[in-house]
Chain A
């Protein structure tokens, strides 16, 4: 069925290092791939998104790459800071819905 797989479920990185979260999707017709950040006690918030007509998008320390052939996309956070600690969700448009991955809990270690 329609599916978005996200890995890893938990990630710990040293402050200043980079973090990478990877997702795969099942529907080749998917064309919109947002990433959301959820801080404790809050709703998710969009941090970056990419559409299928581009392979990479960057916004300051955050970048997303998309490989449509392999049906996977990744979030890259460089120079991580304590405020990057949160749960990150990838998502993909599948049919007429947005399907979310199960999330990655990112811990930034001092």
Chain B
């Protein structure tokens, strides 16, 4: 079946502009995660959605970052007033139940802020 998809695959934006990154999780997966991967670095946790519970936003680096998950399915990560240090690959993952479950990752969105 279809895996996790993300769009766009690449995004180049000017410093100060807002960007929206989209994630379509695997159908039926209740948990959805966003991570940031800077060049040569590990996976930095950003935010976690689990069913109808309030999301765990503890990894968001600043108030310029926000995310929504509508209808328990598609999620959008928004970065306002982008800065050059926001340049990274943003990865989305979903899992059937939640933590302690295999996470299925999308291919990522490579964001470049010029």
Contact = CB atoms under 8 A, between A and B. Distances in A.
Interface of A: 6, 31-32, 34, 36, 41-46, 49, 89, 93, 96-103
A102 B41 contact: yes
B42 to A, nearest CB: 4
A58 to B, nearest CB: 18
Interface in B1-41: 4, 33, 35, 41
Given A43-B4, A100-B43, A101-B42, A93 B99 contact: yes
A43 B106 contact: yes
Contact of B108 (A34, A43, A98, A101): A43
A43 B106 CA distance: 5
B29 to A, nearest CB: 14
B58 to A, nearest CB: 8
A46 B35 CA distance: 16
B91 A43 contact: yes
A42 B109 CA distance: 10
B49 interface: no
Contact of A89 (B4, B42, B99): B42
B52 to A, nearest CB: 16
A101 B48 CA distance: 18
30 contacts: A6-B42, A36-B105, A41-B107, A42-B108, A43-B4, A43-B91, A43-B93, A43-B107, A43-B108, A44-B91, A44-B105, A45-B105, A46-B103, A46-B104, A89-B42, A93-B99, A93-B100, A96-B48, A96-B99, A97-B45, A97-B58, A98-B33, A98-B45, A98-B103, A100-B42, A100-B43, A101-B42, A102-B41, A103-B41, A103-B42
